[in-house]
Structure formats: structure tokens, C-alpha cells
């Protein structure tokens, strides 16, 4: 589902009640929703330029990452310091509104990174970032983790948009060749089309994979992940100390240390993992 904003919603920084209900229902049933044109293009242009520079460094070092670590896919986060941080990305008001409704007031930020699909990439294995917490149950539980994806460029099958499998977040079976074939028979995958400035909000259990990028340009995708308040905190994030006010104004728990730059973020994620954590990583 795609949701566009009225001028009133743009001014208020929140969805009307009926659209909020529609967005939540889409995530619950399909596993995702797209909110159109809610990120300032100027910050996205600045990010695109810097992330292209960073992609060249990672590609030269052959630092393939993400599911399967296959060629052409980079685990690449945006710079977590000024001038590349923005409330539109870190605490987008529409994403926060939906997350607060679905996860409760105590949710926190657990991840700030992303991935880049480079030209001449290959297929990732089909996977989900999140897990069903209680596998012995015969019904899936409500969402406990939401992923907000932000796109610094137009994104479609023409430049390797992520393949997503609608409704698969409710499928408690493991991802195998057999379950993939079964789901394809009644709910085949799609490659969503998004314009620069759109956001995609998805349940972390949604099945997806990176696919080949047939273009000559990098396709970046930023990920901000919010956890329900009672989930174990697996990592502490690092942000520029100047960004603290962004989180304070939003009321979102940053789960972070605020540092003076420069600090490493490209070849090592800007976070500190918690030892002996039983939870699976995103």
C-alpha cells in the first residue's frame, strides 16, 4: 500500500486517523507500507553524494555484506554525524507515529545502517531480518520490530530494488527452497517502486532478498530500526553529539552514545554489540 499526504498532514507532521489505521493494517497483513514524500530531498542529495564516495571505498576493499555476503551487496550505513543527520531520517514523524501505535510508547532505536546494491550484483539468499520469538506457538505474534527504509534516489526494478514477499512475515516456517516455492504459488514476490523521499516501513520478519542491479549506478537504502521496549538491547549506537537534540525533540529513545566526530562508521558499524546476547542480529 502507498499512502500520500494531504497538505494538512504535511503541516501537522502526522497521518490522519483513517490513514494511520490503513498503514497499520497494511503492515499487519502485508508486512509493509510506503509513505510517500516525507523526507527532504536536499539531505538525501547530500547523503547520496557521500554514500557513493563510501561505496567506492567498500567496493575496492571487496567488503561485500548483508545476507550471504554475496558480490555486489554492501552493508553500508550513512555517516552518523553532521551534516548528514536529519530528523526526517532518524525520527521521521510519520514512522514514529506508526511505530508508537504498533510498538508502544517505550520503543527504542536499535539499528542505523543500510545496504547498497552496486552494478553487476548477484542474488542474495531469501531471508528475514527478524524472527518469530516464540516458535512453539501456532500463530505469529504482533510486530516487535519495525524497519524504516529511506531511499536517497528513485528505486525500482531498473536499479535493483529489494525483492519483498507480501504476507511472509506471518509465515512461521523456515525459509527453504520448498517454502519459497510454496509461497510463490499463491503470493509471489514484488519489487516495490519508490521515489526519492518515500519511506518503506516493514515488519522485520518479512522475507526479502537483494537482486541484481541492472543499472550503472549504486542503489542505496538506509535502515532505521525500532524495537518494542521490552526486547533485549543488543547494541549501543554511536551518533554525533550534535544529534542528541534530534532524539530529545522526538521523544524516541536513541539507545546511543553521543560522541564528537570523527569516529569509524564505514568499515565497522557505528555501534557496540552487547556480549552474550541470545538475540539474532538484524
Q: What is the pLDDT of residues 176-227, one digit of tens each?
A: 999 999 999 999 999 999 999 999 999 999 999 999 999 999 999 999 999 9
Please check whether residue 98 lies inside any domain of the structure: yes
Please check whether residue 279 lies inside any domain of the structure: no
Q: Check pLDDT > 70 for residue 281.
A: no
For the CA atoms of 139, 101, 27, 247, the dihedral, rounded to the nearest 10 degrees, stands at -120
pLDDT at position 274: 62
Q: Check pLDDT > 70 for residue 282.
A: no
Q: Give the CATH number of the domain where residue 252 resides.
A: 2.60.120.620
Return the bridge partners of 202, or none: 32, 147
Q: Check pLDDT > 80 for residue 156.
A: yes
pLDDT at position 135: 74
Number of independent structural domains in the chain: 1
Measured at the alpha carbon of residue 92, what is the angle toward residues 86 and 97, in degrees to the nearest 5?
Answer: 160
Distance from C-alpha of 258 to C-alpha of 109, rounded to nearest angstrom: 14
pLDDT at position 268: 86
Instruction: Produce one character per residue of 181-196: b if its CB has 16 or more CB atoms within 10 Å, e if not.
Output: eebeeeeebeebebeb
Please check whether residue 34 lies inside any domain of the structure: yes
Q: Check pLDDT > 80 for residue 232.
A: yes
Over residues 153-182, the mean pLDDT reads 97
Distance from C-alpha of 6 to C-alpha of 40, rounded to nearest angstrom: 16
Please check whether residue 281 lies inside any domain of the structure: no
Q: Check pLDDT > 90 for residue 24.
A: yes
The full DSSP string for 8-47 is HHHHHTS--HHHHHHHHHHHHHHSEEEE-S-S-HHHHHHH
Per-residue pLDDT tens over the stretch 67-118: 999 999 999 999 999 999 999 999 999 999 999 999 999 999 999 999 999 9
Over residues 263-282, the mean pLDDT reads 66
Res. 2 pLDDT band, cuts 50 70 90? very high
Please check whether residue 119 lies inside any domain of the structure: yes
Domain span holding position 102: 2-273
Res. 127 pLDDT band, cuts 50 70 90? very high
Please check whether residue 214 lies inside any domain of the structure: yes
Q: Check pLDDT > 70 for residue 278.
A: no
Res. 19 pLDDT band, cuts 50 70 90? very high
Q: How many CB atoms lie within 10 A of CB 265?
A: 21
Please check whether residue 278 lies inside any domain of the structure: no
Q: Where are the beta strands (DSSP E) in the chain?
A: 2-3, 32-35, 73-75, 108-117, 145-150, 163-164, 190-191, 199-203, 208-209, 219-227, 235-240, 256-259, 271-273
Distance from C-alpha of 177 to C-alpha of 193, rounded to nearest angstrom: 26
Displacement of CA 56 from its chain's centroid (Å) = 22
pLDDT at position 136: 79
Distance from C-alpha of 139 to C-alpha of 36, rounded to nearest angstrom: 32
Q: Check pLDDT > 90 for residue 262.
A: no
Residues 6 or more apart from 7 whose CB is under 8 A from it?
Answer: none
Please check whether residue 282 lies inside any domain of the structure: no
For the chain, the residue count is: 282
Mean residue pLDDT of the chain comes to 94
Amino acid at each position: 500500500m502507498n499512502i500520500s499526504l494531504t497538505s494538512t498532514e504535511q503541516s501537522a507532521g502526522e497521518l490522519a486517523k483513517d490513514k494511520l489505521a490503513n498503514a497499520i493494517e497494511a503492515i499487519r497483513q502485508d508486512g509493509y507500507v510506503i509513505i510517500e514524500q516525507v523526507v527532504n530531498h536536499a539531505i538525501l542529495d547530500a547523503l547520496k553524494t557521500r554514500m557513493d564516495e563510501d561505496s567506492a571505498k567498500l567496493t575496492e576493499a571487496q567488503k561485500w555484506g548483508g545476507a550471504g555476503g554475496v558480490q555486489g551487496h554492501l552493508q553500508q550505513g550513512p555517516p552518523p554525524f553532521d551534516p548528514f543527520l536529519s530528523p526526517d531520517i532518524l525520527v521521521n514523524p510519520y514512522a514514529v507515529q506508526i511505530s508508537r501505535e504498533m510498538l508502544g510508547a517505550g520503543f527504542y532505536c536499535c539499528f542505523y545502517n543500510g545496504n547498497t546494491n552496486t552494478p553487476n550484483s548477484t542474488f542474495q539468499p531469501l531471508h528475514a531480518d527478524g524472527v518469530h520469538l516464540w516458535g512453539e506457538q501456532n500463530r505469529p505474534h504482533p510486530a516487535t520490530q519495525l524497519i524504516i527504509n529511506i531511499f536517497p534516489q528513485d528505486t525500482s526494478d531498473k536499479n535493483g530494488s529489494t525483492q519483498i514477499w507480501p504476507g511472509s512475515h506471518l509465515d512461521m516456517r523456515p525459509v527453504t527452497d520448498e517454502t519459497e516455492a510454496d509461497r510463490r504459488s499463491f503470493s509471489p514476490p514484488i519489487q516495490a517502486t519508490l521515489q526519492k523521499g518515500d519511506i518503506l516501513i516493514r515488519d522485520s520478519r518479512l522475507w526479502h532478498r537483494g537482486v541484481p542491479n541492472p543499472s550503472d549506478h549504486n542503489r542505496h537504502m538506509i535502515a532505521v530500526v525500532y524495537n518494542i521496549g521490552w526486547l533485549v538491547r543488543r547494541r549501543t549506537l554511536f551518533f554525533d553529539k550534535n544529534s542528541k537534540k534530534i532524539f530529545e525533540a522526538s521523544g524516541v529513545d536513541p539507545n546511543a552514545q553521543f560522541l564528537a566526530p570523527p569516529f569509524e562508521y564505514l568499515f565497522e558499524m557505528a555501534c557496540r554489540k552487547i556480549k552474550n546476547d541470545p538475540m539474532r542480529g538484524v
